[in-house]
Amino acid sequence: MTSFFQGPAAPPDGATPPSTRDPAASRVRVEDDRTGMHPAALGRAFTDHVQFSRARDFETATSFDRFVALSLAVRDRLVERWRQTQRTYYEKDVKRAYYLSAEFLLGRALQSNLQALGVEDTYRAVLRDLGVDLDEMMEQEHDAGLGNGGLGRLAACILESMATLELPGQGYGIRYEFGIFEQVIRDGAQVERADEWLKFGNPWEIERPEYAVTVGFGGRTEMVQDGRGGFRVLWHPADHVLGVPYDTPIAGHGSGTVNTLRLWAARAHEDFDFGLFNEGDYVKAVEQKNASEVISKVLYPNDNFDKGKELRLRQEYFFVACSIHDIVWRYTKTHDDFSKFGDKVAIQLNDTHPAIAIAELMRVLVDEHALTWDEAWTLTVRAFGYTNHTLLPEALERWPVALFERLLPRHLEIIQEINRRLLRAVTVAFPYDQGRARRMSIFEEGSERMVRMAHLAVVGSHSINGVAKLHSELVRTSLFRDFHELWPDRFSNKTNGVTPRRWLFACNPRLSRLVTSRIGPRFVTELERLAELEPCADDPSFLAELRSIKRANKEALARIVKRELGFEVDVRAIFDVQIKRLHEYKRQLLNALHIVTLYLRAKRGERVHPRLFIFGAKAAPGYRQAKLIIKLIHAIASVVNGDSRVPELKVAFLPNYRVSLAEKIIPAADLSEQISTAGMEASGTGNMKLAMNGALTIGTYDGANIEIREAVGAENFFLFGLTAEEVEARLASGVPGRAAYEADAELREAIDFIRTGFFSPDEPDAFRPLVDELLGRDRYLVMSDFRAYADAQKDVERAFLDEEAWSRKAALNIARVGGFSSDRTVREYANEIWGIEPCTIRLVPDEPAAE
């Protein structure tokens, strides 16, 4: 075995810049068991970690011990690639893309990393010889639930695609101690419990406390002479917090690239007041520590009250300040001035949460590095790109100026200067349009003056993109119309995608094997090759295999439903799936009304094809209407599932929806519910995952549904409902939902059953707020779209009865969704926004493995 020796200390991302590295000690050389890929080395690495990392005898080790040991053995094999990746980036001085996101919904990592290294099958065999079940070990891993839904999952897919495509990049976010809450259903209602995902540690991350960043809040600013005849501003924060980085490897599939996700944890600047402790004030002695560390405690604290708003702004500035410091630090390690900053740094804002980064970079460049305003602004705009993810006004962050002034006084001054220059440019371009200046201002006037973060993001970025064709068009023509007229070249579309490694290859191995048997394995990294499957849609043997796979996946999900909810499922039923964040615009309520109508039809003796309605959804803790919809779905389920005279219908709300649960639901789905109010869903990615796994979509002309329908063929997609233009006109007309109620007897019957307490006899008025909204404003046009939706569902049932034809439609959905890979999305970002190029990582060959 080779010797082990360590070179000089490394920078935060694990690689020493070439200018500071001693060539004689440039590599950490490790024992072959740390890097070897031979089955014997893999087996020894696992058993050694059981013994030495977990301090267990192999025979007495628990399943969790074995999971950690295997994870560490896999991480060892990533580390050499990880270090080589960072070393190569420094040596070649490549331009890097930095992805700033408040959410990273990573899910589990063990299987992904095994597959990225190409050792899943090998390790499965090695472990089988040791009497260990790999699948059982993978179930020990807790989801890294650092996200709420599509935004965070997209961020995870983008990082994985960047590594697979060998693109230099890094993610930045917050290491929430408690991720998205754990959902428990009690008496049909959502109850939130802390998601203690770090309770037993995280074997994938590496803490780097020596690179902690100090972040300031509050205080005052002071203008002083700069010694060159000018002035500069000093910020004197009132309090400080430390940001401690934790690095997680993001491995490319089949490539040598391992990029970094750096998450920041908040720590107290001064942990402990020993004097207060000695005086007996034990609580106050640790008060500062508690106040500081709450910043990274929980994802999205409830901001329905002032303290929640303040905490959320603190969170956003905290991770942004740490990240900008890190980006600038990394650049200055190998560059003496900022002349090449725009050539080496691209920063992408994933929605408005990190938009304060624009003001922070300006502060760092102007106040700390003495650049002129114009120099700094040119570099800032060139560096930043902004991805918008929502058209809903309430989701575009706005902060009270008074709060900003109290927490971030220097940043408020910078934003005021940005705004002053913006309004001057607007006045020059449109001299006779005062209303335009008011609409475009970063500051919103009113009873409480607000900072509009989306406007800051647009003004400070050279690129603004939506995430589907319709969404991007609405961004240009509606949401940011004034900005588009001023800077038309800044706007573009980048339709979202999903990684096929997780959402087909890993989560649906049966289907992956079938696809591989027909077109080979290259579709895993070249999803467009799925098009080669299209002739198979006319092959009866292929369709028969496809049906067999779908049935096996449905049987596996039925076992989960039985275990979680306690009832049997007919796998011949239509598995009708709606899994996504619970929000009124996503219209789980429309789905629930349809269930009621089907139930009432069955009660009248009408023929209804068996269906299992599957829901997975979490509502934000402070979102009362959304939580009431969850309660309604459970109330309906209680009645429907308990009625022995209607055995053909079942409702399954699977609690605590998360990535690992989605991986089990999606392969079993027959029907994908993508029924958002047109014009309100930016893109959607669940629609892509479900279509990729052979589910047919029932959906509105909204988000990426439009592009999916164009790709798979209108005949293989169940379209219904108002268009975005019709939605806008209907909402403008003010027609209440009661009009649809009066005109549709079936809808009226369903509403009346809910309103009169049929599903809630103990609380007859429990769902009155939902009914009142539907009959009144009906903001999300559930009532207006109901009839079209119900009729489209009849088309679904008729199509499903023709087994061969349905299988053909499913096959064509799979074959035609190759364009919805996040690889395609990332290539577009890299080529059109970031200006980064692939950088191949050359790995030093291992020494021959000892037998």
- Residue 728 has a CB neighbour count (10 Å cut-off) of 15
Task: Decide if 469 is catalytic.
Answer: no
End-to-end CA distance of the chain: give it in Å, rounded: 12
Please pick, among 108, 389, 462, 471, the residue that the annotation labels catalytic. 389
Strand 104-107 to 491-493 pairing: unpaired
Please pick, among 248, 677, 685, 700, the residue that the annotation labels catalytic. 685
- Residue 720 has a CB neighbour count (10 Å cut-off) of 19
* Amino acid code (one letter) for 744: D
- Cα separation, 810 vs 671, in Å, equals 10
Nearest to 313 by CA among 393, 386, 398, 242: 398
Q: Are 480 and 453 in contact (CB under 8 A)?
A: no
Task: Decide if 586 is catalytic.
Answer: yes
b (16+ CB within 10 A) / e for 201-214: ebbbbeebeebbbe
- Cα separation, 423 vs 417, in Å, equals 10
Say how far residue 457 (Cα) sits from the centre of its chain. 20
Task: Decide if 330 is catalytic.
Answer: no
Task: Decide if 634 is catalytic.
Answer: no
Nearest to 370 by CA among 215, 212, 224, 214: 224
Q: Quick one: 751 exposed, middle or buried, by C-beta within 10 A (0-12, 13-18, 19+)?
A: buried
- Cα separation, 797 vs 610, in Å, equals 9
- Cα separation, 375 vs 614, in Å, equals 55
Reading the block at residue 131, the tokens are 């009497």
Task: Decide if 689 is catalytic.
Answer: yes
- Cα separation, 343 vs 680, in Å, equals 36
Nearest to 817 by CA among 686, 727, 677, 726: 686
CA 158 vs CA 110, 162, 186, 497: distances in Å: 18, 6, 36, 8
Task: Decide if 269 is catalytic.
Answer: no
Q: What's 503's DSSP letter?
A: I
Taking every pair of C-alpha atoms in the chain, what is the biggest distance, in angstroms? 90
Q: Quick one: 642 exposed, middle or buried, by C-beta within 10 A (0-12, 13-18, 19+)?
A: exposed
Please pick, among 587, 689, 709, 808, the residue that the annotation labels catalytic. 689
What is the strand order of the sheet 450-452 is part of?
398-400, 450-452, 443-444
Q: What is the CA radius of gyration of the chain?
A: 28
Please pick, among 452, 581, 627, 709, the residue that the annotation labels catalytic. 581
Helix (H) or strand (E) holding 851: none
CA 404 vs CA 104, 219, 242, 519, 545: distances in Å: 26, 12, 20, 57, 60
Please pick, among 108, 586, 650, 808, the residue that the annotation labels catalytic. 586
Strand 258-268 to 169-174 pairing: parallel
CA 829 vs CA 85, 262, 458, 463, 492: distances in Å: 21, 21, 17, 10, 10
Look up tokens 């077109």; give the residue. 519
Look up tokens 């419990």; give the residue. 193
- Cα separation, 326 vs 213, in Å, equals 8
Residues labelled as active-site residues: 389, 580-581, 586, 685, 689
